[in-house]
Structure 1
Amino acid sequence: MNIIFNIFNDILRYLFDLTGDWGMAIVLLTVIVKLILMPFSLKQKSSLKKQQELSLKVEELKKTFKNNKKKLEMELQKHYDSNKKHMFGCMITFIQLPIIMTLYNVVLKLPIEASTSIIPWVTSLKLADNYHIIPLVYSSLMCMPNLISYLKVIKNSTIQPISKSNVIVTIVISILFTIKTPIAIGIYLITSAAFAVIENIIYSIFFKENLA
């Protein structure tokens, strides 16, 4: 973990030397990490899609063979065996966690005087956003992956339309999570959320069938 931390820390400082802005450096570092993890993330989305399809198929089989328990077990076993390879994709989240947590810790260890032109109303990225713009932007982005299914270009998306109650819960949790968070972490979270929105759109339009 220390090796990853040192690598991220060196990259962040290099990006700061390149841009002269800690906020831009955080954005670029987050994008770099997300691009590295993107193939795994897309594969995970494909695996989750397969699991959804399997659940629907299981329900159909239970109805079809409700009076033939032996046949039902045989058919279920066939489908479970054929979908085992897709279950591994759900483990990718655990692969990402150490990297994401390390990136989070790198951002937390920024110099106390660090500031950014991205958010000019704060004097230090160590402070929280007293105007609460960061929490509002982050909560909006967190809802978007579940709302993109309404776009016409993504009419075949496997993402289920989000309910109003889920929207409210997502917004409240996101705001509570970031309302006292340092600006540096807010930039990291917003960049990650924005990247996730773009990634969902890319997957829904271009990769859904190829990765299945």
Structure 2
Amino acid sequence: MNIIFNLLNTLLHYLFNLTGDLGIAIVLLTVTVRIVLLPVSIKQKTSIVQQHILSKKISGIKEKYKNNKKKLESEMQKYYRQSTKSMLGCFVSLLQLPIISSLYFVIIKVPVNVGTIIIPWIASIKTPDKYFIIPLIYALISLSPNLLSYIKYLKTVEWVKMTKSNLIFIIIFSIFITIKAPVAIGLYFITTSLFSLFEEIGYRLYMKDKPLN
């Protein structure tokens, strides 16, 4: 963990010296980390889609062979093996946690107390945004990936529609974790959410004509 922290801390200082703006350096560092983790993230998305498809197939098998216990058990064994393999892909995402958490702490412990051209209305990225613009932007961006499935062209598999309660929860949670947080952390969250949004759009476009079996 210390190795990852030191590496990211060194990279942040390098980007700060290169750009002369700590806000831009944080954005570039966050994007760099997310690009490095992109293969893991794609693997996770594919595994989730496969789990969804397998779940539907298993439900169909149970209905089809509900009166033939022997055949049902035989077919279920095949699908459970596939299900186990796709679940392993979801666990791969746990590899991201040490890197993402280290990045978070690197940004929290930034020693420089300066502003950034990205957010001209604040004097220091180590203070919260008193105008609450950053929390509101983060809340809106956090909602975006959940709305992609409402766009017919980007719909890949059947999805559970987002309820009003889920919508409200995302908004409240997003504002809650950023309203008192330093602007530097808000930049990190916004950059991460934007990257996730474009990653999701790219993934859906790529997989659109590549159905998973």
Q: TM-score, length-normalised on structure 1?
A: 0.93
Gap regions ≥5 residues in structure 1: none
CA RMSD, Structure 1 to Structure 2 (Å): 1.7
- Is the contact between residue 43 and residue 211 of structure 1 (CA under 8 Å) also seen in structure 2? no
Q: State the partner residue of 1:132.
A: 132
State yes or no: 1:38 paired with 2:38.
Answer: yes
The correspondence of residues 95-174 of structure 1 with structure 2, limited to 5 A, is 95-156=95-156, 159-174=159-174
Q: Summarize the Cα distance change of 1:61–1:211 in structure 2 as closer, same or farther, 3 Å threshold.
A: closer
Q: CA deviation at 1:177?
A: 1.4
Segments ≥4 residues shifted beyond 6 Å: none
Q: CA deviation at 1:112?
A: 4.6
- CA deviations on 1:106-138 (whole Å, 9 max, x unpaired) are 001112513211111211111111111111111
CA–CA separation in structure 2 for the residues paired with 1:156 and 1:48: 12
CA–CA separation in structure 2 for the residues paired with 1:41 and 1:208: 18
Q: TM-score, length-normalised on structure 2?
A: 0.93
Worse-matched range after superposition: 4-13 or 116-125: 116-125
Q: Summarize the Cα distance change of 1:211–1:33 in structure 2 as closer, same or farther, 3 Å threshold.
A: farther
Worse-matched range after superposition: 198-207 or 81-90: 81-90
- Is the contact between residue 157 and residue 204 of structure 1 (CA under 8 Å) also seen in structure 2? no
Q: State the partner residue of 2:56.
A: 56
The percent identity for this pair of structures is 50
Gap regions ≥5 residues in structure 2: none
Q: State the partner residue of 1:87.
A: 87
Q: CA deviation at 1:211?
A: 9.3
Q: CA deviation at 1:71?
A: 1.9
CA–CA separation in structure 2 for the residues paired with 1:133 and 1:211: 40
Q: State the partner residue of 1:24.
A: 24
- Is the contact between residue 34 and residue 195 of structure 1 (CA under 8 Å) also seen in structure 2? yes
